[in-house]
A and B are shown apart, each in its own frame.
Chain A
Amino acid sequence: MLQKSLKLLLGLNCAAVLRGFRLGFSEFLKGYLAGLIAVDPRQKRLENRNQRELERIPVATLANILGTRKTTVLLTV
């Protein structure tokens, strides 16, 4: 959580703050996001999003799936 909050600070930069004072909050936000994207590229965030989506699918062990069924598997090379 702390790491996430610190990450959000990465977008803060003088240019964005000055832009906010001169042109308003929405312009500050644009500058802030541009800064954030520059230091934390979208690709990484996309990968993180994919990872989060994947984690929404629960994991089962093979033993749970098989239950009491015992199997023998033939593997050839």
Chain B
Amino acid sequence: MALLSILAAENPREVLAIGTFMGHTATKSMAENLNDALIHTVDLPPDFSAQQASPGEPPKDDFHLIAQRVVGREFKGQPIERRIRQHFGDTAIIDFHEFGKPTFFFIDGSHTYEYCKQDSEKCFALCGGVGTFLWHDVDESHPGVVKFILEWRSLGRNISRIEGTAVAYWKSDRSSG
């Protein structure tokens, strides 16, 4: 609800949701609440398995969820699907320029510190430092996400948790560096 309210208020032209999963919250609901925005969403390839992770990659988590996924199930075949661009790949490897020019980011991929950090930094670079960022699972069960957010806060980035949710919010501008 908080995500969608902020999304509707910001009314971005392009959105990037990292972590599609079934496609319900971050993709279908976002598409339904924006009249003509393009929603990019990325998830690991459907046939990904934990054994595929190579030693050089940052550590992942949520393997049980990865195994359960039917990526994009909730929006496939629906009218809103035409405004959703499903991308497949590991965000540690994929070129973020594939995701267009989003200014609104919902970061809910792997929740390790390493992934959260690199996903967020790539999003920040993609929008040239001017965008709206929301992180999911900012709670005591995801210390990597919390650690990363505290790190960005120490840079003077005024990120806050949204009351009653596990979502953190930050709107950056050109002075955010």
Contact = CB atoms under 8 A, between A and B. Distances in A.
Interface of A: 47, 50-51, 53-54, 56-62, 65-66, 69, 71-76
Interface residues of B, number: 28
Contacts of A73: 1, 4-5, 8, 33
Interface string B13-41: 00000000000000011001100000000
Interface of B: 1-2, 4-6, 8-9, 28-29, 32-33, 138-141, 143, 146-147, 149-150, 153, 159-163, 168-169
B140 A47 contact: yes
Q: Most chain-A Cβ atoms within 10 A of its Cβ — which of B9, B161, B162?
A: B9
A66 B171 CA distance: 11
A53 B143 contact: yes
A66 B140 contact: no
B163 A57 contact: no
Given A59-B160, A60-B160, A65-B162, A53 B146 contact: yes
A57 B146 contact: yes
A58 B161 contact: yes
B161 A65 contact: no
Contacts of B140: 47, 50-51, 53-54
Contacts of B163: 59-62
